[in-house]
Amino acid sequence: MVEDIVSKWGTVHIACNNAGINRNSASEDTSLEEWDETFNVNLRGVFICCQAAGRVMLKQGYGKIINTASMASLIVPHPQKGVRVNCISPGIVDTPLIHSESLRPLVQRWLSDIPAGRLALVTDLQAAVVYLACDASDYMTGHNLVIEGGQSLW
C-alpha cells in the first residue's frame, strides 16, 4: 500500500491507521482463533503500516502517523464480573536482558532520561505486586501503576 502511494504521489506525509475489530466475546470464552484475528487486525496491521510509512518518513525527515486506538484501554468494560484487573508498567528494569551486546550502548542514554538516576530493580516492583494481590487493593481495578523512576516526567 505504501509503495503504491509513493509510486503515485512520490512520498507519504501523513499515515492514519484506522482499522479495528471487536468480536465482543467474554474474555473467558474468547477462542485463540478470535484472539489471533483481533490482534492481527488491531496490532499487527497497525505495526506493519507504521513501519512501512515510517521508513519513508524517516528518510525524508518528516511525517505524521495517527493511530486510532480505543477508549476501552482506559475503562473497565461492563459488566464487571468481580475480577479485578490491574497492571504494572515498570521502567527499564536491570536484568541480564538489557546487558546484551546490542543494548549496551543504549543503557547510558536510558540512564540520562531517568531522574532517579538508576534503572529499576526487580525489588522495586515487588511491593506493588504484593499490594495488588492483597485485600488492601480490593477497591482498585483498571489501573496502570507506573513505576519508572520519573522517566515519564520528561
CB atoms within 10 A of CB 117: 9
pLDDT for the residue 31? 95
Bridge partner list, 64: 14
What is the per-residue pLDDT across 98-129, written as a single tens digit (0 to 9) for each?
A: 888 888 889 988 999 999 999 999 999 999 99
Work out the pLDDT band at 6, boundaries 50, 70, 90: very high
pLDDT for the residue 116? 94
Domain ranges of the chain: 2-73, 87-153
**pLDDT at residue 76 tops 70:** no
pLDDT for the residue 97? 87
Per the listing, cell 543503557 goes with 107
pLDDT for the residue 77? 65
Instruction: Read off the pLDDT of each residue in 85-96 and give the average, rounded to a whole number.
Output: 92
Q: Calculate the dihedral angle through the C-alpha atoms of 104, 109, 114, 120, rounding to the nearest 10 degrees.
A: 0
pLDDT for the residue 147? 95
C-alpha 70/C-alpha 67 separation (Å) is 10
**pLDDT at residue 10 tops 90:** yes
C-alpha cell at position 123: 525489588
pLDDT for the residue 71? 77
**pLDDT at residue 81 tops 80:** no
What is the per-residue pLDDT across 134-154, written as a single tens digit (0 to 9) for each?
A: 999 999 988 899 999 999 987
Instruction: Read off the pLDDT of each residue in 64-73 and give the average, rounded to a whole number.
Output: 85
N- to C-terminal Cα separation, the chain: 35
C-alpha 49/C-alpha 39 separation (Å) is 14
